[in-house]
Amino acid sequence: MTDCTLLVFGSDPAPRLDRLSGRARIVYADDVSLPGLLPSADALLVWDFTSDAVRDAWPGAGPRPRWVHTASAGVDRLLSPELTSSDVVLTNARGVFDQPIAEYVAGLVIAMAKDFPETWELQRQRRWQHRETMRLGGSRAVVVGSGPIGRAIARTLAALGVEVELVGRTPRETDSEFGRVHGSADLESLLPSADWVISAAPLTNENLGMFDARLFGRMPRTARFINVGRGPLVVEGDLADALDRRTIAGAALDVFEHEPLAADSRLWNLPGLLVSPHMSGDTIGWRDDLAEQFMDNFDRWAAGEPLLNVVDKQLGYVPVS
């Protein structure tokens, strides 16, 4: 497959694709050039996964890439009706971000339980103020999203002594690791006893805006909410109201409905809210890991072997076996 054309959307910084030298003609595209280059590409690497340009530029009938890989876990920014209904194979970066995100969530949980933000603020004020903090062991977490990221989060929290309930799209009464996985219909009944509610679900039409005033109202006043899934899973105004009214104790958001978060957003100054700029999975060397994963899959594609991380385009994620 030395004469194939690999189109890479996004080059800031460019992926390190050294292993593909002499095996593919690599062409880089930006928002402007993408529509004209898509029909001549055999494969597309979506390196800039923060853009909607691929979804907007995806061609209808006629030539188009046979394989699309996105360097992200989420695929909602790609799935145009034309791509979804086509025979184009879509793969994602499942596996690269699982443990880094789990570690980030664990860090947030520890920071909130031990009141680190207030400790840092008191240090800044040079004030010695003794306080009691929360014990993690025996606290209860509800992790929404039973894919690899949700499972890594649940596993890491369990190692800290947190009792974890895992919620997926459909219930599974037997699970080799967690005993059972609750279905989405069970979520409301699990929330009143939760100390931590963690959103790690993919974005689909069914769960758009799922964390709203109704669900925040089901959480106890002592609960903390964390979203590392997708921004539109949360009705941000409803979360803001819950924090303003102190009906939940705190929250941390790493993803937002619109990114970057506007400087005049209400979210910046809410009591008990920690804002981070979509960085929970981005550890040192993460781009090299993404490039290596893509090149491994390219080897399989060139050899005519089944690809890894094939997304079910109707579901919007890679099904968990």
Catalytic residues: 230, 259, 278
Residue 25 makes CB contacts below 8 A (sequence gap 6+) with: 3, 4, 5, 6
- Counting beta carbons within 10 angstroms of the beta carbon of residue 314, is it exposed (0 to 12), middle (13 to 18) or buried (19 or more)? exposed
Q: Where are the beta strands (DSSP E) in 145-217?
A: 163-167, 172-175, 179-181, 196-199
Q: Which residue matches tokens 């400790």?
A: 119
d(CA 245, CA 4): 58
Helix (H, G, I), strand (E, B) or coil at 120: helix
Answer for the pair 167, 181: CB distance below 8 angstroms, yes or no: yes
Contact 105, 280 (CB under 8 A): yes
Which of 295, 234, 294, 241 has its CA nearest to residue 270?
241
In which region does residue 290 sit, left (phi positive, over 0), alpha (psi from -120 to 50) or beta (all else)?
alpha
Pairing between β-strand 179-181 and β-strand 224-227 as defined by DSSP bridges? unpaired
Residue 189, helix vs strand vs coil: helix
3-state DSSP call for residue 142? strand
